Amino acid sequence: MNKGTWDIIHAQYITSAVRADQYPTPPLIEAAFIGRSNVGKSSLINSLCRRNGLARVSSTPGKTQTINFYGLQAKRTTEGQEERADFYLVDLPGYGFAKTAKTNKDKWSGFISKYLSGSDNLGLVCQLIDIRHKPLDSDIESYHWLLDCGLQVQVILTKADKLSKNAAMAQKALFKRELGLDDSRIMTYSVTQNTMRSELIGRIMTALEGHYLRQEIFRVTENIVAIQQKYRVVRDIVQDMDIPDFLWESGYFEDLTSDERKKYIAFRCSDFDMDAYLHEPSCYDERLPYFSIIVSLVVLSKYLYFLQEQESKYYTDSVATKEQVLPKEKDESVETTPAKIVGKSNPFKSTLKANEIKLLTECVNETNMFTTTVSTKILTDFFNCKLDGVLKVNNTRLLAYLMMQLSCYNYIIYEWQSVIANNKLILKKIKGEPLTRTDLSSATDQAKNIYPKGYEIIDKYIKQLQKG
């Protein structure tokens, strides 16, 4: 189904802040704009929202000294059905303040970095760069710092109307090479002509949708893992809940105590009162041990499956959108070769190229991630889900950290845990059983709280991947 085009239909100033307690409520998903002073950030925001004067335009560098929040509403219509989405556009102070005291620069950079590294609602950062100049160190450093924070970045080359078409394309090609970008992560923009306005709105909304799905998948997964860890008796239920009598097939009944089993046997279905349950879900937990816990676990698992389907659909739609004939820019200054996607079915939704697989092979072997040394072919087969056999992991947390980093930088799908589990790609070191999604989710949570030994090696190789 072809979806309609998003457009901004409402925009208003909300508030300004320099501390987290000053951020607006209720929280909404956010798209932030950042760039050097005088890059044309305010003008672009006004152009995007079609509201002259919404963001104050000034010729004085460093005029914006606070984090400014604007409330935006976007709309699209698909087959007669209207869809609306509310989010915050966040205008950040510029970096590189030529006429600002160093003490103020340090103070500003402090609260800006706290916002960028600490906001759970930040789905996209649009980094604005003046197309007329060569890539500056501050632009390059800021871009890589944003990536290190795990943020999705869209580079926007502003003031494209100041150059000829050929000169603009040549500059765009230069920035692509310097920052290691593909066409989906960089674009030019002219506020005088509003070129690429619809494209930019579309990219923002796609990124925000993907961020929301990833957030929600992570939240639900955490809740499922927490329930399974707290109530060990229900830990295996979700794996078998699609088959008849899944409670008994999962071994749940055998894991109950003798007294708990007797309660189940004595309970009559005719005694169940749905109204009473809906009023208080835990009302039957005494007569049917863990009943409300089981219902919660099943509901969360079904919801997670739905979210994963939406994420897969989101990815498919976003790829299709990139392939549509939109007012795209054709880079005439350089010859490009299409990236080779690993595998035919590509279950990981991998964008890894052959040279990147080779680099990851070195990373995996240096960290001793598996019980055997792997070759580039083995790792290629792994991402294809076509291993001739299986791999046995030495450190599950280290594996989770690597895959988590690859997903953060969009090299693989966010739900990589399910791909590994469903295809039984990796065995546990001790028991020799295939790693489950629960195993991987738990390892991921642990890796986020306490970095595993060897994480710095992975970070080193991830940075090399980013540099191309």
Tokens of 208: 């925000």
Task: Tell me: do 404 and 460 sit in the same domain.
Answer: yes
Q: Total structural domains in the chain?
A: 3
CATH of residue 204's domain is 3.40.50.300
Q: What is the mean pLDDT of residues 293-316?
A: 80
**Residue 315 pLDDT > 70:** no
In this structure, the answer to whether residues 190 and 301 fall within a common structural domain is no
What's the rounded Cα separation, in Å, for the pair 300 and 305? 9
Mean per-residue pLDDT of the chain: 82
For residue 175, tell me if it sits in a domain. Answer: yes
Residues 200 and 238 in one domain: no
Q: Do residues 68 and 175 both lie within one domain? A: yes
Share of the chain above pLDDT 70, in %: 85
pLDDT band at 57 (very low <50, low <70, confident <90, very high): low
230 and 301 both lie in a single domain: yes
**Co-location of 205 and 245 in the same domain:** no
Q: Is there a single domain that holds both residue 96 and residue 152?
A: yes
Give the number of residues written for the chain. 468
| Chain centre to alpha carbon of residue 464 | 20
The DSSP code sequence of 232-278 is GGGTTGGGGTTSTTHHHHTTHHHHS-HHHHHHHHH--GGG--HHHHH
Q: Which of 109 and 192 is assigned the larger pLDDT?
A: 192
Eight-class DSSP state of 19 = S
Kindly state whether residues 293 and 357 are assigned to the same domain: no
**354 assigned to some structural domain:** yes
What is the C-alpha end-to-end distance of the chain, expressed in Å?
Answer: 35
Instruction: Determine how β-strand 122-130 pairs with β-strand 67-78.
Output: unpaired
- Report if residue 28 sits inside a domain: yes
Q: CA–CA separation, 207 vs 237, rounded Å?
A: 34
Q: Which residues of 35-48 are buried (b: 16+ CB within 10 A; e: fewer)?
A: bbbbbbbbbbbbbb
As a whole number of angstroms, the distance between CA 378 and CA 390 comes to: 10
Residue whose token pair is 């880079």: 331
Give a yes or no: residue 435 inside a domain: yes
Confidence of residue 96 (pLDDT cuts 50, 70, 90): low
Residues 289/281, Cβ–Cβ less than 8 Å:
no
* Residue 391: domain span: 339-467
Inside any domain, residue 326: no
pLDDT at 229: 84
Q: Are residues 31 and 86 in the same domain?
A: yes
Whether 91 and 45 have beta carbons less than 8 Å apart is answered as: yes
pLDDT at 20 over 60: yes
Q: Are residues 170 and 296 in the same domain?
A: no
Same domain? For 73 and 90 the reply is yes
> Residues 40, 44, 49, CA angle at the centre, nearest 5°?
155
Residue 343 has pLDDT above 50, yes or no: no
